[in-house]
């Protein structure tokens, strides 16, 4: 397994104008993302997670530190337009507002947009677009108008556009934040399937705890730094620190934590209601 993204001591500040001082958004952030993994990045608004996403797809360049994508140092002095273009062919992005990232009026035209930019021959694009639409389960909407779709469907079209370009890694920048529960589930199911079945590396930036529990690994950010890094089980058992960082924990964990406070011997890293109930029942039985 190799690292598709490697960040070393990244720092970034937004330059203010005359009256406002620069805002330090990221401070000394380091991590590696293994190929094929599913990483969730958690944090409250303004903790630097969206800035990080913009650095990863090279919309901003870091002030300090090194960023490697697929082994290539994107912060080196000899990086040209071509290298950035090359990196973007590997790492794709799905944004927060489903309305602001679709370019074309017709679904299949939008999915084809990226491939057209890469200069792929027509028949191949056709094939890739059809496959991508199948993968996200939107084939029957191929000729529909994009603006008539629901939020969840729009996000799935955006995802199809990314996978039609055969990218190995997709960054989701709060892509579920503006969706209703139905749309959120559609998108999360698609993300999980892409990761498991297609082997696509997923970086999912979110503030929904239950979405983070689906990942292999969770990074928690606060004030521009990574404060926790581990499996969901490891991270969510540290309830106190999460609360301090302005985050929630899943309700199951919260209940188990309260049980533990009251002197019961329970694990904290359980997110499934059934299992949570079993654990509690067991602990109560043991205590008696």
Applying CB under 8 A, which of residues 18, 80, 140, 262 lies at the interface with another protein?
262
Rule CB under 8 A: say whether 1 interacts with another protein: no
Distance in Å, CB of 100 to another protein, minimum: 4
Provide the edge-to-edge strand list for the sheet that holds 91-94.
91-94, 169-173, 201-206, 38-42, 217-222, 225-230
Rule CB under 8 A: say whether 113 interacts with another protein: yes
For residues 169-208, which are near another protein according to CB under 8 A? 177-178, 180-183, 207
Applying CB under 8 A, which of residues 2, 16, 118, 134 lies at the interface with another protein?
118
CB atoms within 10 A of CB 93: 21
Residue 87, class by beta-carbon neighbours within 10 Å (0-12 exposed, 13-18 middle, 19+ buried)?
Answer: buried
DSSP 3-state of 196: helix
Applying CB under 8 A, which of residues 12, 38, 68, 95 lies at the interface with another protein?
95
Applying CB under 8 A, which of residues 103, 196, 199, 286 lies at the interface with another protein?
103
Rule CB under 8 A: say whether 165 interacts with another protein: yes
Distance in Å, CB of 1 to another protein, minimum: 25
Contacts of 265 (CB under 8 A, 6+ apart): 283, 286, 287
Query: What is the residue whose two structure tokens read 């188990």?
Result: 256
Distance in Å, CB of 19 to another protein, minimum: 11
Q: How far is Cα 288 from Cα 271, in angstroms, rounded to an integer?
A: 25
Rule CB under 8 A: say whether 273 interacts with another protein: yes
Applying CB under 8 A, which of residues 13, 23, 79, 104 lies at the interface with another protein?
104
Q: How far is Cα 118 from Cα 216, in angstroms, rounded to an integer?
A: 32
């Amino acid at each position: 397994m190799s690292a598709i993204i490697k960040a070393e001591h990244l720092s970034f500040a937004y330059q203010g104008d005359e009256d406002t001082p620069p805002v330090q958004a990221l401070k000394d952030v380091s991590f590696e993302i293994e190929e094929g993994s599913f990483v969730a990045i958690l944090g409250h608004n303004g903790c630097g997670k969206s800035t990080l996403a913009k650095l990863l797809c090279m919309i901003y360049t870091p002030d300090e530190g090194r960023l490697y994508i697929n082994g290539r140092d994107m912060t080196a002095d000899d990086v040209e337009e071509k290298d950035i273009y090359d990196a973007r062919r590997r790492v794709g992005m799905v944004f927060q507002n489903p309305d602001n990232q679709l370019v074309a009026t017709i679904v299949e035209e939008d999915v084809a947009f990226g491939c057209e930019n890469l200069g792929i021959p027509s028949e191949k694009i056709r094939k890739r677009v059809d496959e991508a639409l199948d993968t996200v389960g939107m084939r029957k909407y191929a000729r529909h108008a994009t603006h008539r779709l629901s939020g969840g469907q729009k996000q799935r079209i955006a995802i199809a556009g990314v996978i039609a370009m055969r990218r190995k890694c997709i960054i989701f920048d709060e892509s579920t934040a503006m969706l209703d529960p139905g749309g959120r589930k559609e998108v999360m199911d698609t993300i999980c399937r892409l990761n498991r079945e297609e082997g696509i590396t997923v970086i999912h930036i979110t503030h929904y705890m239950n979405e983070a529990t689906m990942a292999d690994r969770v990074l928690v950010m606060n004030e521009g730094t990574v404060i926790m890094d581990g499996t969901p089980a490891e991270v969510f058992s540290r309830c106190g620190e999460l609360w301090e960082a302005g985050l929630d924990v899943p309700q199951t964990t919260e209940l188990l934590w309260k049980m533990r406070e009251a002197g019961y011997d329970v694990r904290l890293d359980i997110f499934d209601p059934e299992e949570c109930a079993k654990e509690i029942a067991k602990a109560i039985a043991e205590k008696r």
